[in-house]
């Protein structure tokens, strides 16, 4: 049996596991379920191990949110890279990524992020700052009232889909996405 001094340590794997477990708990049970004890139990890590990687529960949650926003950023940038028309490119990518996520996976990590952002002021500020930077980066191509309306409508469609009763009718996401994207093509 290997002792702690002989066992090979894998700090990145432990950190990754902690982040994944915290995200899963938030998604499945809500942000209130993300306690130090619950994350440690789910990850099979001691509290000391968690605090070695994250100074506090809030630091862990902030890291989960930062990682989700980085992924969302990368998904939007990837969608933009395939779009040859500059005007409205960011908005089309935002609509596509937002509604594709809802169409493909009702219980995605974004769901936990968005719902938590609505109720937790610190997360709301982080998410709002991220979005404001993204919009600012694309001001030259997407600073138009119609494009802003399209982005807000995509948020509304996403929220309507999320809040529907289980078994209730789902909005025609593909049709709504197509209409919203079409609105970004007319100047």
The whole-model pTM stands at 0.77
**Number of domains the chain is built from:** 2
pLDDT class of 1 with cuts at 50, 70, 90: very low
- Pair (154, 170) in one structural domain: yes
CATH of the domain at 31: 1.10.10.60
- Pair (76, 42) in one structural domain: no
Domain that holds residue 133: 62-183
Cα 37 to Cα 50: distance, rounded to the nearest angstrom: 10
- Pair (80, 15) in one structural domain: no
- Pair (50, 100) in one structural domain: no
- Pair (91, 50) in one structural domain: no
- Pair (40, 76) in one structural domain: no
Highest mean pLDDT among 96-100, 111-115, 165-169: 96-100
- Pair (114, 27) in one structural domain: no
- pLDDT tens-place string over residues 106-115: 556 566 666 6
Q: Which of 37, 54, 71 is the last residue of a domain?
A: 54
Per-residue pLDDT, averaged over 96-102, amounts to 80
- Pair (79, 167) in one structural domain: yes
- Pair (36, 77) in one structural domain: no
């Amino acid at each position: 049996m290997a002792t702690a001094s002989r066992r090979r340590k894998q700090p990145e794997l432990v950190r990754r596991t902690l982040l994944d477990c915290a995200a899963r708990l938030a998604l499945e049970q809500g942000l209130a379920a993300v306690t130090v004890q619950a994350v440690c139990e789910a990850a099979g890590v001691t509290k000391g191990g968690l605090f070695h990687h994250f100074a506090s529960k809030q630091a862990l949650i902030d890291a989960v949110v930062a990682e989700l926003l980085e992924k969302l950023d990368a998904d939007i940038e990837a969608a933009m890279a395939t779009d040859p028309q500059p005007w409205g490119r960011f908005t089309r990518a935002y609509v596509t990524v937002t509604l594709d996520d809802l169409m493909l996976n009702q219980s995605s990590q974004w769901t936990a992020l968005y719902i938590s952002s609505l109720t937790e002021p610190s997360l709301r500020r982080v998410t709002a700052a991220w979005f404001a930077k993204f919009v600012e980066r694309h001001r030259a191509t997407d600073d138009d009232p119609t494009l802003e309306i399209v982005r807000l409508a995509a948020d509304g469609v996403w929220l309507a889909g999320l809040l529907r009763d289980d078994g209730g009718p789902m909005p025609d996401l593909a049709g709504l996405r197509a209409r919203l994207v079409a609105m970004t093509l007319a100047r």
